[in-house]
Chain A
Amino acid sequence: MSYNAFITEETIEGDGSGPLAGRTVAIKDNISTANVRTTCGSNTLAEYVPPYDATVVERLFEAGATIVGKTNMDEFGMGTTTETSAFGPTENPAADGRVPGGSSGGSAAAVAAGEADLALGSDTGGSVRCPAAFCGVVGLKPTYGLVSRYGLVAYANSLEQIGPLAPTVGGAAELLDVIAGLDPNDATTRAPPEGAETDYAAAADGDVGGLTIGVPTELTEGADDGVRTAFEESITELERQGATIEDVSLPSVETAVQAYYVIAMSEASSNLARFDGVRYGTKGDSDGNWNESFAAAREAGFGEEVKRRVLLGTYALSAGYHDKYYKRAQDARAWVKQDFDETFDQVDVVASPTMPVPPFELGESLDDPLQMYLADANTVPVNLANLPAISVPAGETDEGPVGIQFVGPAFGEATIIRAGSALE
């Protein structure tokens, strides 16, 4: 059975040595692969062939991995279901008739279906963790700056990171070990602070004795009943294994979705200006002047969700509205960061359901964009605060898999990997 997990299936053999020798890896189609087309799930890049490899792809080859293809995704990463792809929706291998989540839905589906051992996705507001949760696999969003974004086609630079997906926490950690590290081609990469635990695979030891886990009411109360039950059972299991559970409060997350969308859309409106049908991107059907031709190229190349976000971002940055939306959103972002900083004085990790809902039915959410944005409530605060987070399978509802999310302090990947591995 084909789940339409791949946009391009092409095998590039690794050289057979290194930590990922003999392992197959699927790459999200917004990560550049030299001489293999990279579409971002968009018509405008349907024929785009990058002249160079992303840094993470170079690191995979150096580690001996074999790449098996480029995975389906919401167009430019804009979506929570993988249905905004110009190459058709991906089906969820773990939940018949339902979406795999998004935007890295093809990467999660490829791993869930066994079509790749491991996969890379990108996470701007939950795009690795959401599909991991919906497909019953593991997905990790690294601390901002841990993994190079060189060669990742930008949607919202200040928020996004490339992250691993795998069937197990240990697998995701091994892939993170390979892709993490400073890159002279990405000046936003940072070294973890002195003394930070950076052997991620070794951290997947399941030892949560003495770990303090904070559970914020704001991120659990609104969840669907079946999701809450599965989440609470996982928390009980962690407590049984020796973790201490504490209630914590993160009042700032109430405006996190608004802040996230204002910032992401604003950055997108600037980033996507490069697709002009001249340097790259499909050319529109216009013989007019530069502006007319540009506008026609973008009408032809972009799908509806991309247009919606570029237009709203343009609106939020336009004269008279910049202070009202963009500046306020930056305050809301700083507030979220401050809230998490204070919480990590009390607890080691913060846990919540990854998604407040089970996987949507295919087609269910396409007509109501705001409803879809609200589903990102538990994942976007992490990107706003530049923190690491992992989604790990936490059982099932009748409608499909449930994921539990562990958020750690900056460069605390080892701690969230340890917490997640205790549930396997």
Chain B
Amino acid sequence: MTVDDEEVRHVASLARIDLEETEIERFAEQFDEILEYFEALDDVPEIETETDLTNVMRPDEVRDGLTQEEALRNAPETEDGYFKGPNVS
């Protein structure tokens, strides 16, 4: 397997992370090595599992949550009590 710069750019765009050119080159090299190491997973046997899961229920009761002010406190920008985001397109 060989990871090229184009593939790193593609994954970075899927993950919404800008990268510097030097990072792209370095990541391509490192990803190649790491993904090759992950190849060992091909030899893992299929395992029959019976997962022991229980539903966790609670009554649907009204209770206090964060105030609008608390919820907005960490936002870089707000306007009229809303989060302010960039243009959608």
Given contacts A279-B74, A290-B89, A315-B31, contact A335 B16 (CB under 8 A): no
Indicate if A334 sits at the interface (CB-CB under 8 A).
Answer: yes
Indicate if B80 sits at the interface (CB-CB under 8 A).
Answer: no
Residues on A with beta carbons closer than 8 Å to the beta carbon of B34: 261, 312, 369-370, 373
* Closest beta carbon of chain A to B55's beta carbon, Å: 9
Query: Which size bracket describes the interface of B in this complex?
Result: 35 or more
Residues on B with beta carbons closer than 8 Å to the beta carbon of A280: 74-76
Residues on A with beta carbons closer than 8 Å to the beta carbon of B74: 47-49, 279-280
Indicate if B15 sits at the interface (CB-CB under 8 A).
Answer: yes
Indicate if B62 sits at the interface (CB-CB under 8 A).
Answer: no
A295 to B9 CA separation, bound complex (whole angstroms) = 12
Contact of B17 among A187, A281, A295, A332 (CB under 8 A): A295
Indicate if B21 sits at the interface (CB-CB under 8 A).
Answer: no
Decide if B19 touches A307 in the complex (CB within 8 Å). yes
A318 to B45 CA separation, bound complex (whole angstroms) = 23
Indicate if A255 sits at the interface (CB-CB under 8 A).
Answer: yes
B25-62 with Cβ < 8 A to chain A: 27, 30-31, 33-35, 37-38, 40-47, 49, 56, 58
Residues on A with beta carbons closer than 8 Å to the beta carbon of B87: 288-290
Interface string of A312-338 (1 = CB under 8 A from B): 101110100000110011011011011
Given contacts A299-B18, A310-B15, A312-B31, contact A328 B41 (CB under 8 A): yes
Q: Closest residue of chain A to B33, judged by CB?
A: A370
Given contacts A308-B30, A312-B34, contact A51 B17 (CB under 8 A): no
Residues on A with beta carbons closer than 8 Å to the beta carbon of B46: 331
Q: Closest residue of chain A to B7, judged by CB?
A: A315
Interface size of A in residues (CB-CB distance below 8 Å): 60
Decide if A290 touches B11 in the complex (CB within 8 Å). no
Residues on A with beta carbons closer than 8 Å to the beta carbon of B84: 278
Residues on A with beta carbons closer than 8 Å to the beta carbon of B11: 311, 314-315, 318
Indicate if A304 sits at the interface (CB-CB under 8 A).
Answer: yes
A331 to B15 CA separation, bound complex (whole angstroms) = 25
* Closest beta carbon of chain B to A337's beta carbon, Å: 8
Q: Closest residue of chain A to B66, judged by CB?
A: A51
Decide if B43 touches A255 in the complex (CB within 8 Å). yes
Decide if B40 touches A255 in the complex (CB within 8 Å). yes
Given contacts A282-B76, A304-B23, A370-B37, contact A289 B86 (CB under 8 A): yes
Residues on B with beta carbons closer than 8 Å to the beta carbon of A258: 37-38, 40-41
Decide if A325 touches B73 in the complex (CB within 8 Å). no
Ordered by A's residue number, 16 sampled pairs between the chains whose C-beta atoms are within 8 Å are: A187-B56, A261-B38, A277-B76, A279-B74, A289-B87, A290-B87, A295-B17, A298-B18, A310-B15, A310-B17, A311-B31, A316-B38, A318-B11, A329-B41, A332-B41, A337-B49
Interface residues, chain B, with chain A CB atoms under 8 Å away: 8, 11-19, 23, 27, 30-31, 33-35, 37-38, 40-47, 49, 56, 58, 66, 70-71, 73-77, 83-89
A-B pairs, top 4 by smallest CB distance, nearest first, are: A299-B18, A293-B86, A328-B41, A51-B70
